[in-house]
Copies of this chain bind each other. A is one copy, B any other.
């Protein structure tokens, strides 16, 4: 019988993360301090993030970073995640392509986000921090950080983008089961939130705004650090456990991907899956294509500019050299809350600038159409974010069919959509709108 799913034993789970910046010829440009205009220092970062994450953020020399035993032990609660051969999807499309997906939706919190949340919470705990704040869009990251905080005995406070807070009440409940304090953003609990609500009382929020609020709360609270779910290089570093596992699992399947695809919000699941494979491009051994699938409503990679910009609405974060739509960009209320972010991580931005990765934009209805086909064929209802990767995968698989090419495609199923059924309802009833950049 043909093999459907590939697992690693617990001893084969990676014990090191991969730091791609060590292998990049053109390193990402340095982040700048908003206060001094100079390259940001570890000490400045450590005012906001844990010391170890600050160190990792600026490390562009060590190729491999050890995964602490305590984190790796918690990884075994759900890792390795399965690499799955999508026979069902291949058959539905009638494509000669071999399609694989790395199923990060099986994590306790339903997405890849836990890979970094556990690391960040662990470092905070080790450094004597007692409280963590963060922001969340669809709620995937907030859920992950809430659970990771519970695991390592920290208090967590989560600002959730208001549109998602309202569209996805179940995720709020899940965060609360894990003991988090959840506040819809913009809120009146911070200066940043008040400023925005004063100008636009009905504003439905964005990741940029929620970040401002979480950062402000962290700065005002003793013993409190801030944790970010994407964008930053240390977050993507933690996510490379996805690609490192997938590399071993593809080897078990006897294949190597020609094309690797992931959805793109800030870039953490994209970098997490792609960078370990990309290192073989950088060393000249492979010529794999890497495709970032972003929403047409928030097309920073395909339509943004590469420039220094803030990571948040209010301008609290360092200035990041990245593809951006502007830190005051207000994305339409698409269901893929995790992709509603104005900028791209600095590593992915540099790689795109250098032509080492590609980007494609996907309309909302195209994403959900792909998601429904995938659900029927593979039995898993994908997160709205992941639907974008699936749509991009299907487009490539259809090209393979048209050209009669048997390529191997790997994509990241970053999360499941079980908490996003109102979005599917809307799609199935024909009431879903396509948004373009506003």
Contacts and interface: CB of A to CB of B under 8 A. Distances in A.
Interface in A410-430: 418-419, 421-422, 424-425, 428
A204 to B, nearest CB: 22
Q: Interface centre among A109, A169, A170, by most B CB within 10 Å? A: A170
Interface in A1-55: 1, 3-5, 7, 10-11
A252 to B, nearest CB: 11
A381 interface: yes
A379 B76 contact: no
A376 interface: yes
Contact of A109 (B73, B108, B176, B379): B379
Contacts of A176: 424-425, 428
A401 to B, nearest CB: 22
A21 to B, nearest CB: 29
B1 A73 contact: yes
A290 interface: no
Given A1-B69, A419-B421, 13 more contacts: A1-B10, A7-B7, A77-B88, A78-B379, A109-B379, A169-B421, A170-B419, A173-B421, A173-B422, A174-B418, A174-B421, A174-B424, A177-B376
Contacts of A151: 379
Interface in A266-310: none
Interface residues of A, number: 43
A106 interface: yes
16 contacts: A1-B10, A3-B76, A4-B77, A108-B380, A151-B379, A170-B419, A173-B421, A173-B422, A173-B424, A174-B421, A176-B424, A177-B375, A178-B376, A418-B418, A418-B419, A419-B421
A72 B380 CA distance: 18
Nearest to A372: B177
Nearest to A176: B428
A356 B60 CA distance: 64
Given A177-B424, A179-B376, A428-B176, A4 B76 contact: yes
Contacts of A147: 379
A13 to B, nearest CB: 9
Interface centre among A375, A381, A419 (most CB of B within 10 A): A381
A48 to B, nearest CB: 27
A248 interface: no
A283 to B, nearest CB: 31
B1 A376 contact: no
Interface string A105-118: 01011100000000
A328 interface: no
A353 interface: no
A215 to B, nearest CB: 27
| SS of A interface (majority) | helix
A240 to B, nearest CB: 20
A375 B173 contact: no
Contacts of A358: none
Contacts of A425: 173, 176
Nearest to A108: B379
Interface string A162-184: 00000001100110111100000
A420 to B, nearest CB: 9
Contact of A178 (B106, B178, B375): B375
Interface string A214-245: 00000000000000000000000000000000
Interface string A316-358: 0000000000000000000000000000000000000000000
A166 B64 CA distance: 51
A125 interface: no
A194 interface: no
A191 interface: no
Interface in A376-416: 376, 378-381
Contacts of A106: 106
Nearest to A144: B379
Contacts of A110: 418
A379 B76 CA distance: 12
